């Protein structure tokens, strides 16, 4: 039977899908994925919360060389999420290079990734620039 599963466990399948942050109970630092201890304060108690689907580009780079089978060029971004959290991901949706800059607003998008031998599909995420229709994904 075909199923959809997230490629990373901090991508939560919902309607719509969202990222889940791991939050230090002591200093409120936000991480993606599981942590044994907080890198900022050493705390070992964590909670989790839904992170915003929107944010701004902190930094970006255009990748021109990659492993065989990976299409280039593509744009990798570091996104400061609204309300906290920092995510590294790809910028998709055929972004206009003139619009890709620090401070540009982006929103979360999900896509079907690789399919395994059972037909199960890995759901991956990226960000797209806010354009004509805010929140819309290509």
Q: Which residues contact 133 (CB under 8 A, 6 or more apart)?
A: none
- Rounded to an integer, what distance in angstroms lies between the CA atom of residue 12 and that of residue 14? 6
**Binding marks (x or -) toward Zn ion, 22..51, rule CB under 5 A?**
--x-xx-x--------x-xx-x--------
**Choice between 35 and 111, CB closer to Zn ion:** 35
Task: Kindly state the smallest distance separating residue 73's Cβ from Zn ion, in Å.
Answer: 37
Two tokens, residue 8: 């990373």
Task: Kindly state the smallest distance separating residue 34's Cβ from Zn ion, in Å.
Answer: 15
Task: Kindly state the smallest distance separating residue 44's Cβ from Zn ion, in Å.
Answer: 9
Q: How many CB atoms lie within 10 A of CB 126?
A: 20
- Rounded to an integer, what distance in angstroms lies between the CA atom of residue 120 and that of residue 75? 27
Task: Kindly state the smallest distance separating residue 81's Cβ from Zn ion, in Å.
Answer: 18
Two tokens, residue 76: 């990798």
How many angstroms separate the most distant Cα atoms in the chain? 45
**Choice between 38 and 129, CB closer to Zn ion:** 38
Two tokens, residue 48: 């989790």
Of the candidates 55, 48, 54, the one whose C-alpha atom is nearest the C-alpha of residue 16 is 54
**Choice between 11 and 24, CB closer to Zn ion:** 24
**Choice between 42 and 102, CB closer to Zn ion:** 42
Task: Kindly state the smallest distance separating residue 19's Cβ from Zn ion, in Å.
Answer: 19
Number of residues near Zn ion (by CB under 5 A) = 8
Give me the residues that bind Zn ion (CB under 5 A), please. 24, 26-27, 29, 38, 40-41, 43
């Amino acid at each position: 039977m075909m199923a959809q599963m997230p490629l990373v466990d901090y991508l939560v399948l919902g309607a719509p899908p969202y990222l889940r942050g791991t939050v230090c109970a002591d200093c409120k630092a936000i991480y993606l994925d599981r942590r044994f201890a907080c890198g900022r304060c050493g705390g070992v108690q964590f909670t989790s919360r839904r992170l915003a689907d929107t944010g701004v580009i902190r930094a970006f780079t255009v990748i021109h060389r990659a492993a065989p089978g990976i299409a280039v060029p593509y744009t990798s971004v570091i996104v400061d999420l609204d309300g906290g959290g920092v995510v590294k991901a790809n910028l998709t949706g055929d972004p206009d290079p003139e619009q890709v800059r620090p401070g540009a607003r982006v929103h979360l998008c999900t896509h079907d990734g690789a399919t395994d031998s059972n037909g199960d599909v890995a759901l991956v995420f990226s960000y797209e620039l806010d354009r004509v229709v805010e929140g819309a994904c290509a």
